[in-house]
């Protein structure tokens, strides 16, 4: 019985380290996906002048998983025209899938900024707004990438080390 408990403690700590590592890796991946989708949105607006609801639907369908769903949810709300508040619609779309993403508060702040000038004024304004959002997300991505490279091995080995230390201590 004691051996099983010790194995479980060791496994739990090791998996904890791996989980923290995975969480950071997924955050970077999600930031990359958002950047890619915003680039697509910019191209749709700049090249084809596609209305926001159609552009969001198109790119939402191209992206897999929750991030694609966020754009699809936003597009559906634009289509339904139940409100004139774009901020509220975008926020609702983000909130609907928040639990499924690995982003941090500062990432959400940058994402929320997207809707502030979204659909407002002309094509150049849209491009500038998207450029700004992309730039800020890219900044976050770079910081988290550097952090991940620095701490990835540490997180994993720290989990194993803590597990091993606890096991030794308990023995």
Partner 1 sequence: MEALLKVMPKSIKTGLIAMDDYERNNMQEIRLRVDKPLILKIRAQEYGLNERGCCKLEQGMVVTRQVLTDILHYMSDFSLYALEDELRQGFMTLEGGHRVGLVGRVVLENNQIKTLRSISGMNIRIAREVIGCSVKVMPYIVGRDKVHHTLIVSPPGCGKTTLLRDIVYQLSEGFKGYGPYTVGVVDERSEIAACYQGVPQNHLGMRTDVLDGCPKVEGMRMLLRSMAPQVIAVDEIGKSEDYDALREILSAGVSLLCTVHGRDEEECLRRPYLKEVLEKGLFERMIILSNRQGPCTVEAVLDGTKGMKRLG
Is 31 or 111 the residue whose CB approaches partner 1 more closely? Answer: 111
Pairwise CA distance, residues 114 & 116, whole Å: 6
Q: Does 171 help bind partner 1 (rule: CB under 8 A)? A: no
Instruction: Decide whether 125 or 170 has the Cβ nearer to partner 1.
Output: 125
Closest CA to 21 of 128, 160, 126, 133: 160
84 lines the binding site for partner 1 (CB under 8 A): yes
Cβ-based nearer residue to partner 1, 29 or 53: 53
Binding of residue 116 to partner 1 (CB under 8 A): no
Q: Per 3-state DSSP, what percentage of the chain is helix, strand, and coil (rounded to 5)?
A: 85, 0, 15
Distance CA 60, CA 71 (A): 5
Largest CA distance in the chain: 69
CB-CB contact of 93 with 78 (8 Å): no
Rank residues 86 and 103 by Cβ distance to partner 1 and give the closer one.
Answer: 86
Please identify, among the stretches 59-67, 94-102, 113-121, 155-163, the one whose residues bind partner 1 according to the rule CB under 8 A.
113-121
Q: Which residues bind partner 1 (CB under 8 A)?
A: 45, 49-54, 78, 81, 84, 86, 118-123, 125-126
């Amino acid at each position: 019985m004691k051996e099983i408990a010790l194995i479980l403690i060791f496994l739990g700590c090791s998996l904890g380290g791996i989980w923290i590592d995975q969480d950071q890796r997924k955050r970077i991946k999600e930031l990359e996906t958002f950047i890619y989708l915003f680039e697509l949105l910019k191209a749709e607006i700049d090249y084809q002048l596609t209305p926001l609801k159609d552009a969001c639907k198109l790119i939402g369908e191209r992206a897999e998983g929750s991030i694609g769903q966020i754009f699809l949810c936003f597009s559906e709300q634009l289509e339904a025209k139940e409100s004139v508040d774009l901020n509220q619609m975008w926020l609702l779309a983000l909130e609907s899938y928040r639990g499924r993403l690995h982003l941090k508060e500062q990432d959400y702040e940058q994402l929320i900024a997207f809707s502030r000038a979204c659909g407002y004024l002309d094509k150049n304004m849209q491009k500038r707004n998207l450029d700004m959002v992309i730039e800020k997300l890219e900044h976050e991505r770079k910081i988290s990438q550097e952090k991940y490279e620095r701490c990835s091995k540490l997180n994993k080995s720290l989990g194993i080390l803590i597990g091993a230390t606890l096991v030794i201590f308990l023995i």
